[in-house]
Each structure stands twice: as structure tokens, then as C-alpha cells.
Structure 1
């Protein structure tokens, strides 16, 4: 399902990002010491270690959390405390790096190159059935990127669980896109960068309502 070059790309992602994630346990606690209450980002030299520069409800989530974090865990202004920021960044490690440095800038995608294999709606079936979706694209500089999402529904006494695999880049956000409808995937509220991803969850509970 993955070509040899794609496997090498995945290995490269793993080696680089695993090292940075390990470093984040040392860097983040120190970097936060230099942040003021009103800050929205880590100091520039530490930006790789903050979360992606995404906005929720008009507010940056880089170090202060997204809307769900602010609503369920640390309501404002407690989300700006050292503890809340530390927990957020250790939960969402190197988001800035995996999106803006190692990720795919949506505007750089050649819409004519996008290919979608499998079920483009597999991410929302809650693991009710086995399936996959693989999206590939070429960037304007000629580099190729891929995203593979796969679910494996278990049988027998484990039938209430499934394995979820997501590798490469988060290209499921543009699954089904092409040159004719690409603008529908690049609206104002859509993500500007698609992160790298290397996640295997072997025991995820089946959600009959979908995810």
C-alpha cells in the first residue's frame, strides 16, 4: 500500500520528530519561563515546540489551548498559567514544526495532482467497518506527499474495537479534492497547513455514531 519512497519519507519523519518530541520535555518547561501572561507564542527560538498556529474562536491555540481546552479544562484566564500551558504543550508536542516546517502548505498543493484511493469518508465511520483511504499529491516544487488512513475492525470478542492507522501527512483534509473543487477545501476557516502524522491506535472503541 505504501511505496518504497513513501516508507523512506515516513522513516525520516519518525526519526526527526521523535527526537524533537523527546527534547520537548526539556525545552518546553524552560521556554515557558520566558512567557508573559499576555503572550500567544513561545519566544522565537523555541517556536518549533509550540502547537500549530491555528485559531479557534478567533484566538490562537499555540500555547494557550484551543476552544475545547479552554472550555473543558482550563477556562480563561487560567489557560494562561504556567501549568495549563505546560500540560497543553506536552499534550500537543511540536505542532508548529509538524505543520509549518515539516507539513504541507495547502496553497502549495498542485490540485491537478491530487489522487484519492479508497473511501474518502473512512475517517468518519467510527471504526464500524474496515477500510482505507490514501491521498497523494505533488507540491508546486515537485515534492510528493502522501497520507494513509486505515481502519481494521476486529472480530469475535474484540468486535467492539478497531485499529486506527494514520501515516504520512494529514491529507484526509483534502480527500476527494481535485482541480475543479479545490477551492471548496481552501476556505477561510480551513487549515492552511496539514501536519505530518504517525499514529497507530491498536485498540480504539467502535463508535456507532461515527467520529
Structure 2
């Protein structure tokens, strides 16, 4: 079940809003980081749109210092607080704060009874081994509708196409009114970001 015209228009709107800011991030972030001390957890307030969402891991903010996986796999503390580590993190997770604050979907605003999952929810973890898709739709408590569409297309032995558009609703694929608490506990994301990703040459993981 592909996105409808209305849903594609939602993606286009997000794209038009976010793209200029994402491009601007490559110029603003290197300068903004010059004003951040090693002990800081955030960029100066006037640059706040260009940091990541303020999630916390092990008591530390991820806004400019990276999440748990980033620290574990790339820049273990205290290296995660260096200029270079922060620059890599913020250019990889561009305008995260803006996306969460202004365009993201708060899980607390989702009507659990409205969640509809179509296709194969395991598509996000199949590594492109097979061509598949999944679409998650929901309605917010104010009546607005949101969706997330994820698709893999294996086009040769070694590579596949990865498409992910809408909002990152794959995090709640399979949720419903009866099991909603399982998706909103502990470290589960409180806000689901927008996404418009197309990668034509992802390497297949068998």
C-alpha cells in the first residue's frame, strides 16, 4: 500500500521546510560549536535549532554530545565532547531539535486506537535481503493524520534501495490500544521525527 497523494504532499511540505535548514546547518554548526565549552550540553540558545533533540543517556544530554550508541561505537567519553566529535554528530543529525519541536509527532498525542500497520514490520531489520515494505498510519488527538512508509527493493546481489518517508512511525509498527504502554515506556522515543530518505545503494546484509 503506497502513500496516497495527500501523504506525498505532506512529505513535500516537510521537505520544503527542512531542506534549506539542513543546507544551512553545514555553515552554521561549525561556527556555533566555537561558542560551546567542553562542559556544555547545548549550543548557545540562538543556534538551538541546529542541535539534536535533547534526549538523555546515562544522565548525559545527547543534544551535542551524541547518544549512547554514538559514544560506544565512535567517540567514547570524554572524546565525545571534542569539537570534531560534536561536529560529526550534528552534521549527521541535522536540525534534530527543530524537527522534534515543530514537526515531530509526540507519542503522547497519538490516538493508539487509530494506529494501522500494513505490510511487513520486520522490513526495517531485514538488511535488504528481500524486497518488502511497511506502512504505519495514525491519527493525532487533534485530528491530524500522520504516516510512515518504509520500503526495500533488492535490485542486485549486493545492493538494495532503501526508502523511508513521512514520519519515523516504524518505531510503533504493530502498536494498538491494548499494547500501547509497551511502546511508551523507559527509553522509548517520546517524539518521532520527520523523515524523507532515499538510498539507492545500501549494501545487503545476509
Aligned residue for 2:38?
37
Q: Calculate the TM-score normalised by the size of structure 2.
A: 0.94
Q: 1:191 aligns with which of 189, 192, 195?
A: 189
Task: Report which stretch shifted further, 95-104 or 133-142.
Answer: 95-104
- CA displacement at 1:11 relative to structure 2: 0.5
Question: How big is the alpha-carbon RMSD for the aligned residues of Structure 1 and Structure 2?
Answer: 1.3
Deviation (angstroms), 1:203:
1.2
SS of the aligned residue for 1:135 comes to strand
Separation of aligned partners in 1, 2:168 and 2:180: 16
Instruction: Determine the structure 2 residue equivalent to 1:5.
Output: 6
Structure 1 residue runs of 4+, over 4 Å off?
Answer: none
- Greater shift after overlay, 109-118 or 158-167? 158-167
5+ unaligned residues in a row in structure 1: which ranges?
A: none
The answer to whether residue 129 in structure 2 is matched with residue 136 in structure 1 is: no
User: Match for residue 163 of structure 2?
Assistant: 165
For residues 88-107 of structure 1, the aligned pairs below 5 Å read 88-107=89-108
Aligned counterpart for 1:176 among listed residues 154, 174, 177: 174
Matches within 5 A, 1:107-122: 107-122=108-123
**Deviation at residue 53 of structure 1 after TM alignment:** 1.6
- TM-score, length basis structure 1: 0.92
- Please tell me whether residue 71 in structure 1 is matched to residue 65 in structure 2: no
SS of the residue 2:15 aligns to: helix
Q: Match of 1:121, SS?
A: helix
* Aligned-partner Cα distance in 1 for 2:123–2:74: 30
Q: What is the aligned length? A: 205
